[in-house]
Amino acid sequence: MPGENLSREEARDRAAMLSVERYDVALDVRSAVGPADPAGPRTFRSTTVIEFRCSSPGASSFADLVAPSVTSVRLNGRDLDPAVVFDGARIALDDLAERNTLMVDASCAYSRTGEGLHRFEDPEDGEVYLYTQYEPADSRRVFANFEQPDLKAPFTFQVTAPEGWTVISNAEPDGEPVPADGGGSVVRFQPTQPISTYITAVVAGPYHVERDHYARTFEDRGVLDIPLSALCRRSLARHFDADEIFEVTKQGLDFFHDHFDYPYPFGKYDQAFVPEYNLGAMENPGCVTFREEFIFRGKVTRASYEHRANVVLHEMSHMWFGDLVTMRWWDDLWLKESFADFMGAFSQVGATRYTEGWITFANRRKSWAYRADQLPSTHPVVADIRDLEDAKLNFDGITYSKGAAVLKQLVAYVGQEAFLEAARRYFKRHAYGNTTLDDLLSVLVETSGRDMAAWSRSWLQTAGVNSLTPHAVYDEQDRITELTVLQTADGEQPELRPHRVAVGLYRRVPGGAVERYARAELDVAGPSTAVAELAGQPRPDLILVNDDDLTYCKIRFDEASLETLRSHLGDVSDPLARALAWAAVWNMTRDALMPARDYLALVLRFAGRESDIGVLQSLHQQARTALTHYVAPPGREEAARELAEGALRELRQAEPGSGHQLAWARFFAAVAGSPADLQLLQGLLAGSAKIDGLDVDQELRWTFLETLTAEGLADEGVIAAERSRDDTASGHRHEVRCLAARPSAAVKAAAWTDVVESDKLSNALVEATIAGFAQAGQRELTAPYTEPYFAAIEDLWAERSIEIGMAVVRGLFPSLQDRQETLAATDAWLSGHPDAAPALRRLVLEARDDLARALRAQECDARR
């Protein structure tokens, strides 16, 4: 749509001229219930009053609004013709005064894609639920505004809703609800602090609510009392463990108050778990929203609870990093997301029972970063964000997890206290304002005395990941005479960075464990750095560069260390060191330095001994990726059989009822393929087969059923029967996924039509259909869709919302057609569409890179 993709230059010019004093927004969402209008989209009334200043009276600007229709526009008492000033995305504002009042009355559309004001109808009880999701620029789908982060203002919201609904927003209600003309009730909220448009929020519906409060006494500020609430759909209330969420919330508030020396600034703290959510969560101040999958319907492992706690703390840290102090433009998105990703693990380890947070960070979050940093779309942590489409795609592994790893390196570089003191000064100096990189660096210089310019150039303003490899020389007594760390850079990113690292020496001890006996911490710079402190040490069995995971790099091994890992990886006693070793051999597999079947052999040999459940589940996920994409095609069948045999063995040997048993059950279902394996899954579903301690609850039943469906052993009737057991929103998503997974050409054609040629499905059902369509064992059924994919994506990108566009372009890329012909077809599309939207080209380039990587890994595996 013309004007919908705001550019950085447009935002800069508008911010230089305008300043916003207040918003008053009234939404009438009573239309969310009852019959829809058959003539068009279901809409709600949105009226907005904006008071703002203009530094250049007489100049022109624009407000943002994406809506089916506008009833009226009034600027400074003048009625403007909506047909003239509104183009579907912008409202033209001419002849501005020094002080201005803009009034807009519009009909805005409820969303089915998770963008703007999303409407969801619960299939279990027919209740309707609403919530907003705006990042980076979807508040304009709900009310007229100036949609950019540096035009902050106080907001006053008023919501007219059906009778009996719970309605929450960023601030506390300003009194009790009052009856509305025509039925329902009106809730008016107190004005917020100055905040950006993208973190305003409204949640409305017959939500189940649980309440608590947090109290803290400060010597210089008195008592801080924060009302807490947690919300979910009524039909999920029986599964809702709000006490656990409140516990982590209070621990986090204590931690951040202790370390930030700035009290929580937004009054109350609501946390709403909402349906069909596109993200993990969103940091709306005072009204945080989460995907409701964090309410566990069945048994999950400790890793799931740990992950949820991390997300709760990640969003809480945003109250300071992002909400109190906000980046000026999306170039500096890292100023909130990198810090929140770091603070999530930092506070989790420091304040909760999930003390394994840094192990998870090393094994899972950094794997995401390493992948993103080796794509052709890699970018510096401080990115070059030209427009809103760029911004949407930069919520990636670099902005989040590489940035967080860089901050962990920064803490090692300047010291923890200097880092935290810089944060305290940053909050106090820029409260309710907007910042750039220089604002943060200036306080770091003050607190650390370090030259931050060179550090920033290397770590924040260049892209790519370095590899660190040890090289040791020994004397006749098998003692180290020289140990050096060799640093290299990958591909087109030549930067060699300064690293603060620890180098650990490990050896086997009586009893078989591999344990560290010496460690040195040093600064690594340039292509080669001597580790003088370890000279004279006895020969190690394993040299681990980046021991304790202080820096961001890919770890490589000398040949002796690699041989130790092949034979004894599971014997490394320290769980963080073991996780780092697992991550390193996975990176080697992705980089075609280790055959995929060698990696799978390590998983088969040692994963059953992995104590950390989060690491184990990562190994399962990576093993599936290796099997699907990196094993040479002639070896896939045997590799799958060996994995299934190993998974079943570990499943039967796991402690009954344990998280490890559950993880192995899910992995077994994912790789099962032999008649005996599939018969066992059928028996577990029917109750005729048992594994001691394994509770085949509803979620696990769907996991087993998807495998059976994809193998042609469960038809539409079986799926319908399972849905009748689970007539819920989750059951509907599982049903859609299973239906699309059936091994039939007609089924694939119908799924393709539903996703590509129609927009009838919600975001959650688009995701489920794509997941069912793209089955690794059905390459021949999806092969005919390579050409249609490339024929469809440009028009689809132009016609659908960016969220759906991203899901389809990523999810339906023909990655399972892992042949040179597919690579050539991708290259032909890229060369033939140079003017396609840059964000679309980026997605295709990334998918092409993954495909090329898979082909290189298969070549490596074939030489095994």
Given this model, what pLDDT does residue 40 score?
A: 84
Rounded to an integer, what distance in angstroms lies between the CA atom of residue 344 and that of residue 332?
Answer: 19
First to last CA, the chain: 52
Is 90 exceeded by the pLDDT of residue 38? Answer: no
Confidence at 491, pLDDT banded by 50, 70, 90: confident
Which are the contacts of 363, defined by CB distance < 8 A and separation ≥ 6? Answer: 579, 580, 582, 583, 612, 614, 615, 618
> How far apart, in Å, are the Cα atoms of 324 and each of 419, 427, 433, 443, 445?
18, 7, 7, 17, 22
Among residues of the chain, what percentage have pLDDT more than 90?
Answer: 96
Identified catalytic residue from 315, 337, 356, 722: 315
- pLDDT tens across 561-607, in order? 999 999 999 999 999 999 999 999 999 999 999 999 999 999 999 99
When pLDDT is averaged across residues 255-280 and rounded to a whole number, the result is: 97
Rounded to an integer, what distance in angstroms lies between the CA atom of residue 35 and that of residue 126?
Answer: 13
When pLDDT is averaged across residues 328-338 and rounded to a whole number, the result is: 95
> How far apart, in Å, are the Cα atoms of 634 and each of 4, 670, 779?
49, 20, 14
Nearest to 811 by CA among 838, 837, 777, 850: 850
Q: Provide the mean pLDDT of the chain.
A: 96
Beta-strand pair 208-218/43-54: unpaired
Given this model, what pLDDT does residue 1 score?
A: 45
Tokens standing for residue 617: 């589940």
Among residues of the chain, what percentage have pLDDT more than 70?
Answer: 100
When pLDDT is averaged across residues 490-507 and rounded to a whole number, the result is: 93
Task: Give yes or no for a contact between 754 and 761, defined as CB atoms under 8 angstroms apart.
Answer: yes
Rounded to an integer, what distance in angstroms lies between the CA atom of residue 643 and that of residue 639?
Answer: 6
For Cα atoms 123, 736, 279, give the angle at the middle one, nearest 5 degrees: 75
Q: Where are the alpha helices (DSSP H) in 449-512?
A: 452-459
Nearest to 168 by CA among 133, 130, 136: 130
When pLDDT is averaged across residues 112-118 and rounded to a whole number, the result is: 97
Rounded to an integer, what distance in angstroms lies between the CA atom of residue 517 and that of residue 539?
Answer: 11
Superfamily holding 1-206:
tricorn interacting facor f3 domain (2.60.40.1730)
Active site residue 794: no
Rounded to an integer, what distance in angstroms lies between the CA atom of residue 234 and that of residue 274?
Answer: 11
When pLDDT is averaged across residues 1-16 and rounded to a whole number, the result is: 87
Task: Give yes or no for a contact between 65 and 89, defined as CB atoms under 8 angstroms apart.
Answer: yes
Secondary structure E strands in 490-604: 499-508, 514-524, 528-530, 542-545, 554-555
For Cα atoms 606, 607, 610, give the angle at the middle one, nearest 5 degrees: 100
CA dihedral 713, 717, 719, 723 (to 10 degrees): -160
Long-range contacts at 759-765 (CB < 8 A, ≥ 24 apart): 759/800, 759/804, 761/112, 762/112, 762/113, 762/120, 762/276, 763/112, 763/113, 763/114, 763/276, 763/278, 763/803, 763/804, 763/807, 764/114, 764/275, 764/276, 764/733, 765/732, 765/733, 765/736
Is 70 exceeded by the pLDDT of residue 623? Answer: yes
Max CA distance (Å), the chain: 93
Given this model, what pLDDT does residue 2 score?
A: 47
CATH number of 466-551+553-590: 2.60.40
Is 90 exceeded by the pLDDT of residue 142? Answer: yes
Given this model, what pLDDT does residue 220 score?
A: 77
Nearest to 156 by CA among 181, 134, 173, 176: 173
Length, in residues, of the chain: 864
Given this model, what pLDDT does residue 812 score?
A: 98
As beta bridge partners, residue 545 has 503
Given this model, what pLDDT does residue 3 score?
A: 59
Rounded to an integer, what distance in angstroms lies between the CA atom of residue 14 and that of residue 6?
Answer: 11
When pLDDT is averaged across residues 840-851 and rounded to a whole number, the result is: 97
Tokens standing for residue 738: 């299973």
Confidence at 36, pLDDT banded by 50, 70, 90: confident
Is 50 exceeded by the pLDDT of residue 732? Answer: yes
Strand order in the sheet with 514-524: 514-524, 499-508, 542-545
Is 80 exceeded by the pLDDT of residue 754? Answer: yes
Is 90 exceeded by the pLDDT of residue 39? Answer: no
Confidence at 492, pLDDT banded by 50, 70, 90: confident
- Domain coordinates in residue numbering, the chain: 1-206, 328-459, 466-551+553-590, 592-696, 743-864
Beta-strand pair 155-161/128-133: unpaired
Please give the CATH architecture assigned to the domain spanning 328-459.
Orthogonal Bundle (1.10)
Which are the contacts of 640, defined by CB distance < 8 A and separation ≥ 6? Answer: 627, 671, 673
- pLDDT tens across 282-318, in order? 999 999 999 999 999 999 999 999 999 999 999 999 9
When pLDDT is averaged across residues 749-777 and rounded to a whole number, the result is: 97
The label of the residue with tokens 């916003």 reads: 20
Domains 1-206 and 328-459 equal at CATH topology level: no
Rounded to an integer, what distance in angstroms lies between the CA atom of residue 122 and that of residue 526?
Answer: 58
